Structure 1
Amino acid sequence: MKLLILKAHTVCLAMLAMFTIGLSACKKNGGTATDDGEKYLTCKINGKYREFNYSVNANDEPATDTVHFVVISGWEKQDKITGFGIDMHIAEGAKEATYVANGASGPSLAGKYYIQEMKDGKFVGTTVFNGGDLDGSNFTLTITSLTKWGVKGTFSGKLKLLGGDEIVTVTEGKFSAPYN
């Protein structure tokens, strides 16, 4: 009888250990596997280094093995006034590869730099620079890692003011964004 109780106790301890190890391999807010990489979204805009590291994330974890869209975004500060985002929709599925969009040609891919305008503490509009989906603009996205954790890569391009002619140049862009 003592041997049976000892075996049952050992099995319970082993199950508890496996459960604890399984929890430590999950994110606190989603239950998906984690990656030891940190979250970041940085680039240079017209030569000035910028960090959009507040609330960096990617779209929801794909429900299938084929990733039809990649969405990454982050804010410069907690006030959510200035941000950067990347949107790509690809029917055949995203892979670890380089994607280029020039105006209306290429995949459905856009880089967006946006600044929300406030007056007297109220939102009054947003200035948006788009690259990749407007004539006179371009955007390049290289996906270097596409895992259950999220997506990592680099980006660059010429983004055009939505509704205007002003251009901003984005260089040395890189990101590491976990799925929501």
Structure 2
Amino acid sequence: MKRLTSRAKFAILSVLALVIIGLSACNKNGGGGGDDTEKFLTCKINGKYHEFNYMVNANDKPATDTVHFVVIGGWENQDMNIGFGINMQIKEGAKEATYKADHTSDLLLAGKYYIDDMKDGKVVGTTIFNGGDLEGSNFTLTITSLTKWGVKGTFSGKLKRLDGEDYVTVTEGKFSAPYN
């Protein structure tokens, strides 16, 4: 039961972190400031190329040299109705390394693909695919650079629909996300 409680807290914190990142990015030059060639989050989902390059950000800059949280998020466009996020919580601190998670892992790592369900121009729900923390799913994150600027790396995985049995396959994922 302790594992469920920990994973539930992680899921809630993940969603809140993505919202905070999005709101923080809104306060920075309208979300588009800086060198946009340095900021990106792209991948293929079921073989189709996606760019989640709108308001790409990582979590707030760590207060210490040890990075316990790695949170990356971006949206397909300014409507912010389709997004992708990566969330990792690691007690011993993140390093430039490869991390793998499935529902049996102790590592709190997840990839999340969000699609707002629309009706008559209004959001009526959100379809969420999780990889790494649901049974039958997995997620791999490779951190290639972890600096004072932000985090860069690659990712892939099999993400399961949160409220169903559907899956999506994520391949060729890569990101470069500055800290807020």
Question: Which TM bucket (shorter chain)?
Answer: 0.7 to 0.9
Q: Deviations over 1:68-124 (max 9, x none)?
A: 000000000111010000000000000000000011314100000010112222221
Which residue of 2 is the match for residue 109 of structure 1? 109
Q: Is the 8 A contact 1:35 1:149 kept in 2?
A: no
Runs of 4 or more above 2 Å deviation? 34-37
**TM-score for the superposition, normalised by structure 2:** 0.79
Amino acid at match of 1:138: N
Q: Give the direction of change, closer, same or farther, for the CA distance of 1:37–1:145 in structure 2 (3 Å limit).
A: farther
Worse overlay, 114-123 or 124-133: 114-123
Q: Look up the equivalent residue of 2:87 and give its one-letter code.
A: D
Alignment-derived partner of residue 25 in structure 1: none
Distance verdict in 2 for CA 1:48–1:36, change over 3 Å: closer
How do 1:1-180 residues align onto structure 2 when only pairs under 5 Å count? 38-180=38-180
What letter corresponds to residue 84 of structure 2 in structure 1?
F
Shift of 1:36: 9.4
Native 8 Å contact 1:159 1:170 kept in 2: yes
Could you state the TM-score of these two structures normalised by the residue count of structure 1? 0.79
Q: What is the aligned-residue identity percentage?
A: 79
Query: How much is the aligned-residue C-alpha RMSD, in angstroms?
Result: 1.7
Larger radius of gyration: 1
How many positions carry a matched residue from both structures? 149
39 and 129 in structure 1: CA distance in 2 versus 1, 3 angstrom threshold? same
Q: Whole-Å Cα distance in 2 between the matches of residues 165 and 104 of structure 1?
A: 18
Runs (5+) with no aligned partner, structure 1: 1-27
Unpaired runs of 5+ in structure 2?
1-27
How far 1:143 moved relative to its partner? Answer: 0.2
Give, as a single letter, the amino acid of the residue that structure 1 aligns with 2:118. Answer: M
